[in-house]
Amino acid sequence: MNWFLTLVVVVLVIMVVVSLVRGIIAFLQTTRIDLENQDDAAHAAAMHARQNKMMFARVKYQALAIVVVFIILAINR
């Protein structure tokens, strides 16, 4: 059981990193669009929505990882 929960934590950490990197990429693309072309508001809005989506996903995966760590600690008491 312990190894399974550890595997779940590792997968969740990988998902946190992936969503963080995707959010940073969306942020950099938004910044580039805002600097280069002020007229493309629709694309910038889509990138802002992607940033928010990735940030929410990151927070969700972090919370799940914390819950699993608490479960591991509770089991090993």
Q: What is the pLDDT of residue 38?
A: 65
Stretches where the chain sits below pLDDT 50 are none
- pTM of the model as a whole: 0.79
Q: What is the pLDDT of residue 62?
A: 96
CA distance 73 to 4: 14
Q: What is the pLDDT of residue 32?
A: 64
CA distance 51 to 27: 6
CA distance 44 to 38: 9
Q: What is the pLDDT of residue 49?
A: 87
Q: What is the pLDDT of residue 12?
A: 95
- Domain count of the chain? 1
Q: What is the pLDDT of residue 26?
A: 84
Q: What is the pLDDT of residue 47?
A: 79
Q: Which domain holds residue 12?
A: 2-75
